[in-house]
Amino acid sequence: MKYITLLRKIENRKISIVFLVFVVAMFSTIAHAQDYRTIDAYMDDFGKNEMFVKKALIDYSVTIIESQMNTRSKVTSDKIVNKLANINQIMKTTNKGFENNTLLRDSFIRMNEKTIESLKNGSLILNDYDYQSTLSFAEINANMAQKEKNMQSYYDEMKNFDKNKRAFGSQYNVGFKSTGTKNVLEYNAYQNLLFYKMNVIDQKLSALIDAKDKAGFAKCFAVIDALHDEIIAKTNQYKGVFKDNSMNDANVKYANFIQSQKEILSPLFNDFADESAKLAVLKKSSQQTPAAVAAYNEQVRAYNAKKNAFYAVFDRIKATKKNMYDNWYVVNSKFLQHNGEFENIHEKYTLPNSNVATR
């Protein structure tokens, strides 16, 4: 199963979506050396821990909303890395598996190691808007592509663990119940990635506006147009995954709004940037004649008028964007609440007619 949760830390209009496996610290029973007489006993302990971890995982996920971030997000990634490393060491030295078959244990350890790797290299930590906004568009695109690749690799390891669990069970004629449900956290992670991408580029846009960079401003909206197309395409693919399409709808709505800024802001920004450029030229002039001073003062007035006209609209857009941004997190939380409740898997962990011999 997938031992992963999403830690979102929002500070000053930043999203932090951190893929953590902090709940494996609760995986206590299997970490102790025991000799099991039957595979049922071994899997009984395993089932209890898996149920507990999954329940804690989803409960943690649905409570991560902005109003609770300061109290629920104190654990740093470094502490998680250390805890996972310690758990892996304990399992390697004390967990003997069943009849020295350590397939299940080893797969779990590899999953933890993948988490450690991902947290150390930052590939699963999406809280770097300020940093990303300082990069070129090529660098931003490369970084986002790498994050998506690493995310896929991470979830592949989760799936590999599930595959090995079933392979382990088949060696002892143990079948597993299948709920037939989708992995809500993986789905949620990819929806979060779409939201992250759009916010990265929007943060870049804000940086270019501050720099009064007309060429960069135009290039940024070309990137936003391409990203908008990507989001529409991917959300269309996601529509059949869950009956609840609230996350899809929220991402489409947000992407449409970010793209719509182009038509509204472009003429105002270009006028503002042009007046700024003219003023910069006059500031460099050494002439102090009455005519030169009058021309400078006139340009200051023209600059201020264009600046005020632009920011009057831009500030309204930012206020609307902030409301949509906050609402996105409400939708995110409700989606997890409505779709992420796990049944008591221990009661139905193995098929009732498994042919298991006492050993």
Q: Residue 168 in contact with residue 99, Cβ under 8 Å? A: no
Which of the given ranges, 85-89, 115-119, 196-200, has the highest pLDDT on average? 196-200
Final residue of a structural domain among 76, 95, 126: 126
d(CA 80, CA 259): 37
Within a domain: 117:
yes
Q: Give domain status of residue 260, yes or no.
A: yes
> Residue 18 domain-assigned?
yes
* Interatomic CA distance for residues 225 and 221, integer angstroms: 6
Residue among 107, 10, 124, 5 nearest 66 (CA): 10
Domain-terminating residue out of 92, 108, 126: 126
At 91, is the pLDDT very low, low, confident or very high (cuts 50, 70, 90)?
A: confident
At 254 the three-state DSSP class reads: helix
Give the span between the Cα atoms of 200 and 223, in whole angstroms.
11
Q: What is the mean pLDDT of residues 218-236?
A: 97
151 or 323, which is more confident: 323
Among residues 73, 96, 126, which one ends one of the domains? Answer: 126
Residues 115 and 225 in one domain: no
pLDDT (mean) for 19-38: 48
Place of tokens 């988490």: 115
**15 shares its domain with 119:** yes
Residue 158 counted as domain residue? no
Tell me, yes or no, whether 154 lies in a domain. no
Tokens of 315: 């500030």
Kindly calculate the radius of gyration of the chain based on its CA atoms and give it in whole angstroms.
27
Label residues 252-287 b or e (16+ Cβ within 10 Å = b): bebbebbbebbeebeebbebbbebeeebeebeeeee
- Give the lowest-confidence range in 177-191, 209-223, 246-260: 177-191
51 within 8 A of 343, measured Cβ to Cβ: no
Residue 338 belongs to a domain: no
The tokens for 306 are: 């264009």
CA atoms within 13 A on the CB side of 225: 8
> Are 11 and 118 in the same domain?
yes
* pTM given for the model: 0.78
Residue 132 included in any domain: no
More confident residue, 314 or 4: 314
**Average pLDDT of the residues in 178-191:** 74
Mean pLDDT of 59-86: 54
Does residue 143 belong to any structural domain of this protein? no
Q: What is the mean pLDDT of the segment spanning 202-219?
A: 96
Question: Domain tally for the chain?
Answer: 2
Structure tokens at 300: 């200051």
**Same-domain check for residues 120 and 19:** yes
Domain that holds residue 60: 5-126
Q: Please, what is the end-to-end C-alpha distance for the chain in angstroms?
A: 26
Residue 169 CB contacts under 8 Å (≥ 6 apart), including other chains? 43, 175, 176, 350
